[in-house]
């Protein structure tokens, strides 16, 4: 199997895992993966159920968004392209609408750096990007600004974008963000979450990147 076929298969598999784990419903959300050369991006098509996707359904575009193979790409193509342009370390992105993380996005509340496993995988708090309509360049630009050097961002009134060097890690980040959001909501009812210090966050992030990241 060549790299493009492997990328398409990874996107299909991740879509099934994403819906199976309750991170999306229906056809909402989207997934992409960038080739090692950076010249091809495999992305989910617009409006297709994840449990029905085939390899042939996965759209392939170039870094400018021109379709190389397939039909209509996800309506959030601009978001994916903007993150790839800004972050050379990112090769995969998953956009989810998970319950608690989206609740934080709707409330305009960042997920604080209070859960150790989340800060290891994300690199700190998950910030909320300034609101813009879905599918727009404005949304993409706001998301990149709020993402900065971390691995996840909340899209105001919308959902979550999680990224990483592989689809497996991007999906893991999305799951950890949802877990942290759930814990944060509960902790607020108990008097509020206690945030970790910047120094501890930096230490844990470095350890994760050097020793604990999947594939290490």
Catalytic residue set: 76
Please name the residue that has the structure tokens 């909402």: 28
Q: Rounded to 5 degrees, what are φ and ψ at 92?
A: -155, 145
**Partner residues linked to 61 by β-bridges:** 41, 67
Are 71 and 77 within 8 A, CB to CB? no
Crossing angle of the two packed helices 77-86 and 137-147, in degrees rounded to 10: 40
- Tell me if residue 181 falls in helix, strand or coil: helix
Q: Count the Cβ atoms, other than its own, within 10 Å of residue 188.
A: 12
41-43 and 59-61 beta bridge pairing: antiparallel
Measured distance CA(188)–CA(205) in Å, rounded: 25
152-155 and 128-129 beta bridge pairing: parallel
Measured distance CA(94)–CA(152) in Å, rounded: 10
**Taking Cα atoms as reference points, which of 158, 130, 165 lies closest to residue 144?**
130
Please name the residue that has the structure tokens 């120094």: 199
């Amino acid at each position: 199997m060549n790299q493009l076929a492997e990328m398409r298969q990874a996107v299909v598999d991740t879509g099934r895992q994403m819906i199976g784990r309750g991170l999306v419903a229906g056809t909402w959300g989207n997934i992409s993966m960038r080739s090692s050369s950076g010249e091809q991006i495999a992305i989910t098509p617009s409006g297709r159920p994840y449990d029905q996707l085939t390899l042939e359904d996965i759209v392939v575009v170039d870094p400018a968004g021109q379709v190389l193979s397939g039909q209509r790409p996800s309506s959030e193509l601009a978001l994916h392209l903007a993150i790839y342009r800004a972050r050379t370390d990112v090769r995969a992105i998953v956009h989810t609408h998970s319950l608690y993380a989206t609740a934080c996005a709707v409330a305009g509340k960042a997920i604080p750096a209070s859960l150790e496993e989340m800060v290891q995988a994300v690199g700190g708090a998950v910030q909320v990007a300034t609101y813009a309509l879905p599918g727009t360049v404005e949304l993409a630009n706001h998301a990149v600004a709020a993402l900065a050097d971390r691995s996840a961002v909340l899209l105001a009134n919308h959902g979550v974008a999680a990224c990483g060097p592989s689809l497996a890690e991007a999906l893991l980040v999305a799951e950890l963000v949802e877990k942290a959001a759930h814990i944060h909501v509960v902790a607020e009812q108990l008097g509020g979450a206690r945030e970790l210090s910047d120094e501890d966050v930096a230490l844990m992030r470095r350890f994760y990147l050097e020793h604990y990241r999947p594939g290490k």
